[in-house]
Chains A and B, each alone.
Chain A
Amino acid sequence: MDIRKNIRNKTSYIFTVTKIYLSVALILLKRGPFLLIDLWRYPWLFNFLKLYKLYKIMNFRKGHFKDGSVCTLNGIAILITNYIYDMLKNPDKLVLAEDIIPPEIIRAMGLTPFSPEILAIVLTIITPDAMEKYIDICENSGIPGDLCSLPKCAMGMALGNVLPKPKAIVASNLPCDAGMMSYVTIEKHMDVPIIRLDVPYNFRSDRAITYFSEELARMIHFLEEHTDGKMDWQELKNILKERNKTQETELELWDLAKTKPTPVASEMIYLSHLVTFNIFPGDKRSTEIFRKLIEFGKKNLEEGKGAIENETYRILLWNPPFAHFPMAFSWAETKHQAVLIMDSMTFNTIDYVDTATNESMIKGLADIIMQGPMSRHVRGPSENYFNDIFYIHNHFKIDMIWVADNIGCKMSAGLNEILREKCRERNIPVLVISYDLMDQRFTSSEDIKTCIDNFMETIMTGNLETGLFDTDAKHMISTER
């Protein structure tokens, strides 16, 4: 039986991967012979072509959850391929936009947005060591090693001359000081006109929305001045209307995730959001991905099944997921029956954009940027951070919080102890996993697994004799430096 099952699994894997490679090839081959030049100029494209590695997640999944996971990966593969294709095809319209800058306005101006940070994340998810070379280039050039590795990737790729030269750069003071400062290096190296958007610290006020709306107006003016782009307000309206639809559909998916056991989980929630809302917001293909995911979730629900069998623990992941260890959640499902329900990069409470007037659209986008995941957690007072955590904890019936403690993220790390104390008061188990967002050499996947194992064994299942751990220690397991 096992042999037959193995053959069936392998056949399914090969069939799925072959199918997706054909779709990817159909898009990229439109470049014709230029593709060879692209591969020479942008060697990271080879990393992207190792997409098959990501599909190993299938081996851990069953039934509709497996279908949902494959659907997510397929959707992502196609969207990313198109993203890269657009970048290669349109050098004259290329705008390098820092990861937190949503691409809606840039697209509405007939320009092609491109974010080195998003590219770095996607490539690391596909090939864990994809960015190590660029991190090294960055550090070897004199940039401090203690910075977050995401801006280090962006700077390293720029310094390594493996990014296409854009017509303009849009940067900002988001999400962090390192991200903001990285564009001094990128600007100097690329020698391209740049605009930097200023997001207030206290962004939850009308004054802040007015201030930042003016910043977006400045950005439109800048792009019209330095590129061939022209603002098409009707196109922006179309994009934002579709964005609202995608958001509405995603909320339906989150509603499913509230159910216990959850019929949808992990990549279906966090990876789908990461790619759709950061790369192709306001695109019908993004909405379609969520619609399909809801279908798979509903099938599970109708059959009375959870995404995984014997769901025992529900996880809230705080801070960006382990980019170089995307199998972390499928592993946790199998080993500990722990399932990822929600994460900080996905959850948000952003209103739909009012598309009635040009002004209302800009205000809506201003709100999206300021209240986007990570933006609102690393800016402003800590209430922004804790209120979301405890809301999600209640709303999604979370059992434990895993804090992905990215070594370079000083803003998050500066709140870890307060979080521990607040969780202790509420009797919520919290696990702090020290790692580096983009660099597996700091904490390997094995180290992350060991950390989780220790936490699950000592805290969640209490397998060890009582008395070995005092009540305080119950909440203090971590791999902290």
Chain B
Amino acid sequence: MATETAESKSFGSNGNQMMFSLFDTIIRSPLNRFMEQAVDEGKIPIGYTCSYIPRMILSAKNLVPFRVFAPGVSSTEMADTYLPSTICSYTKSILDFAINGRYDFLKGWVLTSSCQHMSRFFDNLKHTVNPPFIKIIDLPNRVSESAIRWMMAEMNELRTDIQTHFQITVSDEDLNEAINRHNDSVQLLSAIGELRKNKTPVISGTEFHKLMMAALVAPEAFLFKPLSDIKDALSKRELKEDYRARVILVGGQLDDPAYINIIEQSGALVVSDRICTGSIPGLDPIPHGTDPIERISAHTLTKTSCPRMMDNFQARLAAIISAYETFQADGIIIEAIKFCDTWGLEARELTDSLREKGIPVLKLEREYRITGEGQLKTRIQAFIESMGK
């Protein structure tokens, strides 16, 4: 209900919001109708948890990648048995869903050592659920030539393990095809995302995030048409400037558009997002090249910009400032899930550095599932007022 209200408020209740109902349905539950259809067709859905896991390999041949999320999670009793209260609530939520069989449609899991919470998720998932195929990618904490070589070895190992376990052959040609599909998909999403640069954007942050999330949890092939339709429909959409400030959202794992909706309901339009499931830098296409493994490895390692990459703080800061300028934002909202060590510290340093440059910043700590909506609105409203908007 809250989602519809915000969309209506920003873009008129002319029925345009109905165009997103398909995407609402897709992200309502882990097993969406497109994924169900893919499973029925004999596809192999593989769950993954992090932007550093290359979807392209998991979408080659008849594989289907599924970015693991826990929509509608209300409590995590089962996971709480295994994980302490100081583990981030995203980790606990997906472990709880896994133990409760909500991901049973997945034929395998590919995880990564992106952070310590995820590393222990791997251990506890293996201990509790013990999926038939589970693999953890050893991800370097630096971007360098030797790190890319390391990543290539990891990718080759992943390909071999997939081939052996699922009895399929994933050729270079298959990977190149998957890369092309990926590039087509991100170019389409990028084109829609570009519309957010307009002074009066025809798409809200909430709506855009629905598209992004749907693209991460449903098979690519099923989404080209609906995304193209959305793109066309947006060109005819009625414009209405009904926000007080333009903000950029920065943070880690955020897969619930309702969180962005609360921000927008409070008067701050999210015009760009540097989050794990967002547009920066998630929508960069993979450059051309010959060796698909090398292309995938270099792209994955260099384009994703998580605080876990030790040497890249300045680059991350520069990317945020660049987005702030390009999207003509008024301020930046940094959100981090409580107990996330990397984002917890990064948020502090980003806040200081951005404020030193005179950019208004609001730092929010949150749980994976939405809690304290009233307090959140109050803080957003106070932030908007502090910017003189």
Contacts and interface: CB of A to CB of B under 8 A. Distances in A.
A202 B346 contact: no
Greatest chain A CB density within 10 A among B122, B308, B310 is at B310
A189 to B, nearest CB: 10
Contacts of A180: 141, 308, 310
Nearest to B122: A381
A418 interface: yes
A388 interface: no
Interface string A353-395: 0000000000000000000000000110110000000000000
B127 A418 contact: yes
B76 interface: no
A147 B344 contact: yes
A184 B348 CA distance: 10
B162 to A, nearest CB: 18
A321 B311 CA distance: 32
B84 A214 contact: no
B341 A184 contact: no
B150 A411 contact: no
Interface stretch (B35-43, B112-120, B213-221, B366-374): B112-120
Interface stretch (A86-94, A137-145, A285-293, A337-345): A137-145
B349 A184 contact: yes
A96 to B, nearest CB: 16
Contact of A173 (B81, B150, B310): B310
Given A176-B116, A177-B308, A415-B120, A410 B345 contact: no
Range of interface residues on chain A? 35 or more
B140 A381 contact: no
Contact of A178 (B150, B338, B341, B348): B341
B78 to A, nearest CB: 11
A185 interface: yes
- For B82, B85, B120, B351, the residue with the greatest tally of chain A CB atoms inside 10 Å of its CB is B120
Interface in B339-364: 339, 341-342, 344-346, 348-349, 351-352, 363
A146 interface: yes
A207 interface: yes
Given A381-B122, A410-B116, A414-B123, A181 B141 contact: no
A198 interface: yes
Contact of A142 (B141, B311, B342, B348): B348
A424 interface: no
B111 to A, nearest CB: 11
A266 to B, nearest CB: 28
B346 to A, nearest CB: 7
A185 B150 contact: no
Nearest to A407: B86
Contacts of A207: 150, 153
B146 interface: yes
B124 A184 contact: no
Nearest to B311: A196
A2 to B, nearest CB: 47
Given A144-B365, A379-B119, A411-B120, 16 more contacts: A142-B351, A142-B363, A143-B344, A143-B348, A196-B142, A198-B140, A198-B310, A200-B140, A202-B138, A211-B146, A214-B146, A381-B123, A382-B127, A413-B86, A413-B87, A414-B117
B341 A147 contact: yes
A188 interface: yes
A4 interface: no
Contact of A146 (B86, B120, B153): B86
Contacts of B138: 200-202
Nearest to A171: B310
Given A177-B308, A415-B123, A182 B345 contact: yes
A181 B346 contact: yes
B93 to A, nearest CB: 15
B310 A414 contact: no
